[in-house]
Each structure stands twice: as structure tokens, then as C-alpha cells.
Amino acid sequence: MAEKKIVVDKLRLIYEGLFSIQDLYKLIDVWFREKGYDKRERMAYEKVTPEGKYIEIEIEPWKKYTDYVKSEIKIRMIFTDIREVEVEQEGVKTILNQGKIQMVFDGYLTSDYEHRWEQKPLFYFLRTIFDRYIYRIYTGKYENHVIEDVNQVHNQINSFLNLYRYSAESVTAATEHPYPGH
């Protein structure tokens, strides 16, 4: 069985205000693609409530460093009370989302993800010895990469959302735009 080590555990980001879900998702997608990650969407759930939409998305990007070690980042995004609002900013009308966002970031370092060292009990024992004493130098380097990537994507998303927070102060008018079917 591959060994999965938690490197970053439950780094949180909370935001409330105006934003664009599409632009946020595009930012995350582009960032991971530029960093060489492949992405898998584990869950996408949407529910319309009287207060607004409830959306839950869980993605797991991963990146192979070697044939033995890969990093995985899990991002769980929960959007609550999401409503579309029409915003006029500097004479231009655009439709944005308004609501609350909670994001949780986890970073993992997975070793022997191809299960090569589990063929026989002797190989498993040797893998444990190698991991503990020989590969520790290399896996430590990769752990730092995972920590750095999780912190970078967290900061990138936080900066992106803060742009909406500061631009919302200069909004001249915002009117609620109801979702179809409400």
C-alpha cells in the first residue's frame, strides 16, 4: 500500500462578499496547470435553497516528482448563500456572485504510489528501511515543495478574493439578480 504522509493539514480560507465563482475556478485551474499538476474533481454538488445556492466542490490535483514520490493537494470548497448580483462599476454593469466561501487545503506526499515495493514481505521491509534512513533526505525536499505549493495556491486565491473585497467598496449600485426558477 502506498504511504500517504500529511504535510499540510486543514489550512483554511474564509471569505464573504462579492466574487466570481467562474473566475475563481479558472484561477485555480490555470495555477495548477502552470505548476505541472494533473487534476481530478472528486465531488461537485449544488443545491438551490431559499437563501441562495449551496455549492460544494472537492478537487485533488497531483504531481509526480519521481517514479516513487508524488504530491497531492486536496481543496474542498464550500459556497453558501450564493446569489447573483448585478454590479455597476465605473459605468459598466457586470454580474457577480455574492455569498460565503469556506476553503480547506490539505497537502500530502505519497510514496510508492505504483506499489512496486509491496510484491513480497522482504521488499516491504526494505522499503521501510530505505524510507526511514536513505530516502529521508529526498522526501524532505519534496515535502517542502508540497508545503510551498499549498501556501502559494492559498495566497493566490486569498489575493484574488481580496481584489473583489476592495473593488466592492467602489461599487455604485448592486441589485440582486434572481436565479431562474426561483
Question: Closest Cα to residue 97, out of 22, 154, 27, 43?
Answer: 22
Band of pLDDT at residue 96, cut at 50, 70 and 90: confident
In DSSP notation, 56-113 reads: EEEEEEEEESSSSEEEEEEEEEEEEEEEEEEEEETTEEEEEEEEEEEEEEEEEEEEST
pLDDT in tens, 111-127: 765 555 556 666 666 66
pLDDT at 182 over 60: no
**Domain limits, the chain:** 3-177
Please give the average per-residue pLDDT across 106-113, as a whole number. Answer: 80
Phi, psi of 65, rounded to the nearest 5 degrees: -90, -45
The predicted pLDDT at position 115 comes to 52
Please give the average per-residue pLDDT across 161-178, as a whole number. Answer: 60
What is the residue-averaged pLDDT of the chain?
81
pLDDT at 161 over 70: yes
User: Which conformational region is residue 36 in: left (phi greater than 0), alpha (psi within -120 to 50 degrees), or beta?
Assistant: left
pLDDT in tens, 37-91: 998 999 999 999 888 899 999 999 999 887 778 889 999 999 999 998 888 777 7
The predicted pLDDT at position 181 comes to 41
